[in-house]
A = this chain, B = another copy of it.
Amino acid sequence: AIVDWLTDQLIQQTPDLPLAHQRVLVTAGGTREALDPVRYISNRSSGKMGYAVAQAAREMGADVTLISATRNLPVPTGVKVVYVQSAADLLAQVSTEFPTTDLLVMAAAVSDYRPVQSATEKIKKPADHADLTLQLTETPDILKRLAPQKTHQYVIGFAAETQHLMTNAQRKLTSKKLDLLVANDVSKPGVGFNGDTNQVTLLQPNQAPIKTALLSKIEIARTILTTAVAAGAVQA
């Protein structure tokens, strides 16, 4: 802990780090949409990739806020954290922080559907053991909502797919007006959810895709941020 504290003091006093004076906002983890007070719909995101980005941004000198949909991971030293549950909570927090953010990294796996109704008491099994029908509706698309509010912000998104990765990722880069998109094929071994390694492809508008090796998540995080800095994420 003392080593973490000393490291953090050193970061604060090193003026020429690549993200010095930059406000970096990172979202992480899988949001949860309640069916009732007990049950929810979520996804397999562990939050590890987002936490690694927050740590890497801090090491590169940034002022980092992490909006986290998971509570299971240790918060990197020197990083502020705000915990959220649902896609709506996450949208509210990101919207508040966005105007004063320089670099947004949307690593959270935001639920794209939520139950139309969320029961206030635990739903009991019907006595006749009948099947249940659940009506789901789309959640707000956070990156699309933020796009018109962009002034100077550099925005990084993620795409996790099990097929047609490059087609889906390229579409997302364009439709959400992203500066950088991190695409990963979560059906491959060692890639994506819950592991400590990842292999990704970095897409930028009008640039050839950059494919990384299979690396630890902190190394992937450093590669993402270094690529963003090289592409002009930090304005003079």
Contact = CB atoms under 8 A, between A and B. Distances in A.
A196 to B, nearest CB: 13
Contact of A44 (B38, B162, B194): B38
A135 interface: yes
Please state the number of chain copies in the assembly.
2
State the majority secondary structure of interface residues on A. loop
Contacts of A16: none
B162 A122 contact: yes
Nearest to A132: B136
Interface centre among A36, A132, A163, A194 (most CB of B within 10 A): A132
A112 B130 CA distance: 12
Contacts of A160: 38, 122
B40 A43 contact: yes
A100 to B, nearest CB: 31
Interface in A97-151: 109, 111-113, 116, 121-122, 124-125, 129, 131-138
B38 A41 contact: no
Interface residues of A, number: 39
B40 A109 contact: no
Contacts of A136: 131-134
A107 to B, nearest CB: 15
Interface of A: 35-44, 71-72, 109, 111-113, 116, 121-122, 124-125, 129, 131-138, 160-163, 168, 186-187, 193-194
Given A38-B109, A38-B160, 8 more contacts: A37-B44, A38-B44, A41-B41, A122-B162, A125-B138, A129-B138, A131-B137, A132-B137
